[in-house]
Amino acid sequence: MLTIAFVIAAYLLGSISFAVVTSKVFGIADPRTYGSGNPGATNVLRSGKKAAAALTLLGDAAKGWLAVFLAMHLLPSEILLTVLVVLAVFLGHVFPIFLKFKGGKGVATALGVLLALSVWMGLAVLATWLLVALVSRYSSLAALVAANAAPIFAMLLGLRPELVLATAIMSMLLIWRHKSNILNLMTGKESKIGGKKADAQSA
């Protein structure tokens, strides 16, 4: 019963969209109404409010970290609970009940989850994202490469097989959420970081 309650709480926490919340606080348009229509930090940045985008990134990452951190430290022997919480908080962000199941792509939340599972894995994935983003200037490509790298880092760092599997599943879901970006990258239509193409799909 406790496991079910924990998983439901993780999903509900994940369903809180900080992109929408911070936009309301800053008095800017709902991020679902402009740019890519994605309620995430990258799209909020298109509003011109860097502080709102930063808080969105921080909030979405923090909820992923908090859910997994609590599961790992309150019930450390329940590895299955940690796995379920990892997936629940991520799915909450991607399919939030508060936004009619139309959420963000999960990059920031996934990073928070990874940092909770292993600080070194989270930092390695973040470094991968930054490197690819700096070289290519494609946020989506950086997210895709980092997502593919995450399970590899998990294995190299010796995480338990269950956590490697959870990381892999989350990574596959994140990649699936970027399917439109993959198509845009292949056809040369993807916007770059700092670009002016407002209708492009982004991470």
How many Å apart are CA 89 and CA 111, to the nearest integer?
A: 12
Question: Considering only CA atoms, which of 31, 39, 37 is closest in space to residue 15?
Answer: 39
Range of the domain at 12: 2-187
Tell me which H or E stretch contains 24.
helix 18-26
According to the model, what pLDDT value does residue 63 have? 98
How many Å apart are CA 183 and CA 106, to the nearest integer?
A: 18
Strand, helix or coil for residue 20: helix
Percentage, residues of the chain above pLDDT 70: 95
134, part of any domain:
yes
Contacts of 100 (CB under 8 A, 6+ apart): none
According to the model, what pLDDT value does residue 194 have? 67
> Is the pLDDT at 23 greater than 70, yes or no?
yes
According to the model, what pLDDT value does residue 115 have? 98
How many independent structural domains does the chain possess? 1
pLDDT of 50-72, one tens digit each? 999 999 999 999 999 999 999 99
> Is the pLDDT at 200 greater than 50, yes or no?
no
19, part of any domain:
yes
202, part of any domain:
no
> Using 50, 70 and 90 to split pLDDT, how confident is the model at 203?
very low
Which amino acid is it at 198?
A: A
How many Å apart are CA 43 and CA 203, to the nearest integer?
A: 8
How many Å apart are CA 201 and CA 46, to the nearest integer?
A: 12
183, part of any domain:
yes
148, part of any domain:
yes
Neighbours of 20 (CB within 10 A): 20
196, part of any domain:
no
The structure tokens 């596959």 sit at 172
41, part of any domain:
yes
Phi, psi of 155 (to 5 degrees): -70, -45
24, part of any domain:
yes
